[in-house]
Amino acid sequence: MSSAAKPAAILALALAMQACSDGYPAEDLPPLSPFDMSNLQRLTALNQLGATAHRDRQWSFEQVSGCRLELQYKRKGVRAVKQAIELERSIRLDVAFDEPDGTFDVHVMAGDEPNAPPVATLLESAKWTHAVQAELLLQLLARDCEPA
């Protein structure tokens, strides 16, 4: 390497190192655990899941007046369906495969009995992992909500 090229190489290396001095970019940060999120962050994550969970439906969630969760889903070409549930610490959620629809559904169950029927569907997803993640977010929302 020539004597004139050495300072240029050192300068380039110094600039490259300075560009990396802040560490990893924010988009490379590991995802925040749902256990470490606030309820507002959990609700945001739930809405992100709901927007992409099903090819023909979009789900959205809003926590209003304490522990009341309002949700709606929109089907292509059909009016939005709205419902509300009370998030109680004792809420029992279940993920089940809906064979005719080919989705994994998150249900609120009527009770603790093994054969208790579902009383509401909170999300339908093409992916099991999304349904299980939504179930956890909903359980944590219920655990940490403050009644009105």
Can you give the residue ranges of every domain in the chain? 36-144
pLDDT tens-digit map of 116-133: 999 999 999 999 999 999
pLDDT tens-digit map of 58-70: 899 999 888 999 9
State how far Cα 29 lies from the chain centre.
Answer: 17
CA distance 14 to 23: 15
State how far Cα 77 lies from the chain centre.
Answer: 25
pTM, 2 dp: 0.76
